[in-house]
């Protein structure tokens, strides 16, 4: 599904990523592990079209994505939950979730998926009509995850460690047992 060969990414004269090779097959869970500053986020930004890269290539569904803009990759089913959450702070929680479906046309499916996300993250349901900026860091991460899942991605990249508190994890685990 995703193949990275000899990935290199630079920030000006600084080489942030050098020679990354990785493959992700369909229905496979892969973890990229490294210390702070090792290039994990930069690698993910290159995969999602948010950062230009050099080196060999990145292929998604057997097609090169070099130079393909992020919005086109989203249309092809590649989504990312960014470490910094990237929520729309001045929009309601429900509106943020609806933004995840902006490429979708199936209104009933969208409504059903939003309800499903409220099942996974009950705290979001409780606060659905509040501005997203009022959420804690962990709750904002839940919202970013829900929004990405609602886009119906074929491949979802996630940086879950940022602001994912123990309390948030308990809500998520509890709601999964119910689902």
Same domain for 61 and 131, yes or no, is no
* Global model pTM greater than 0.85: no
Cβ count near 154 (within 10 Å): 13
Same domain for 81 and 164, yes or no, is yes
Tell whether the model's pLDDT for residue 147 goes beyond 70: yes
Same domain for 59 and 86, yes or no, is no
The label of the residue with tokens 């803009």 reads 69
Residue 98's nearest CA partner among 109, 87, 114 is 114
What is the dihedral angle through the alpha carbons of 89, 92, 95, 97, rounded to the nearest 10 degrees? 70
Region 68-84: mean pLDDT is 88
12 vs 140: CA distance, rounded Å: 31
* Domain ranges, residue 99: 77-179
Same domain for 57 and 98, yes or no, is no
Average pLDDT of every residue of the chain: 87
Same domain for 167 and 94, yes or no, is yes
Say what the pLDDT of residue 165 is. Answer: 44
Same domain for 28 and 111, yes or no, is no
Q: Mean pLDDT lowest for which of 22-36, 61-75, 112-126?
A: 22-36
Same domain for 97 and 22, yes or no, is no
pLDDT tens per residue across span 90-119: 999 999 999 999 999 999 999 999 999 999
The label of the residue with tokens 């290159």 reads 46
Query: How many structural domains is the chain composed of?
Result: 2
The tokens describing 31, both together, are 């973890």
Under 8 Å between Cβ of 79 and 151: yes
Residue 115's nearest CA partner among 131, 102, 101 is 101
Under 8 Å between Cβ of 63 and 18: no
129 vs 173 pLDDT, higher one: 129
Which burial class, exposed, middle or buried, applies to 100 when counting CB atoms under 10 A from its CB (0-12, 13-18, 19+)?
buried
The CATH number covering residue 2 comes to 3.40.50.300
90 vs 33: CA distance, rounded Å: 33
């Amino acid at each position: 599904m995703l193949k990275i060969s000899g990935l290199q990414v630079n920030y000006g004269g600084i080489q942030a990523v050098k020679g990354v090779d990785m493959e992700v097959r369909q229905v496979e869970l892969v973890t990229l592990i490294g210390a702070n500053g090792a290039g994990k986020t930069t690698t993910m930004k290159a995969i999602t079209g948010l950062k230009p890269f050099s080196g060999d290539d990145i292929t998604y569904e057997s097609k090169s994505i070099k130079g393909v803009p992020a919005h086109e990759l989203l249309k092809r089913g590649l989504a990312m939950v960014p470490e910094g959450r990237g929520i729309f702070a001045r929009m309601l929680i429900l509106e943020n979730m609806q933004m995840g479906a902006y490429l979708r046309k199936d209104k009933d499916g969208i409504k059903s998926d939003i309800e499903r996300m409220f099942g996974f993250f009950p705290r979001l349901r409780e606060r659905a009509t509040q501005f997203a900026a009022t959420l804690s860091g962990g709750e904002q991460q839940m919202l970013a995850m829900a929004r990405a899942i609602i886009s119906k991605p074929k491949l979802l990249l996630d940086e879950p460690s940022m602001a994912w508190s123990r309390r948030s994890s308990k809500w998520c685990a509890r709601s999964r047992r119910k689902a």
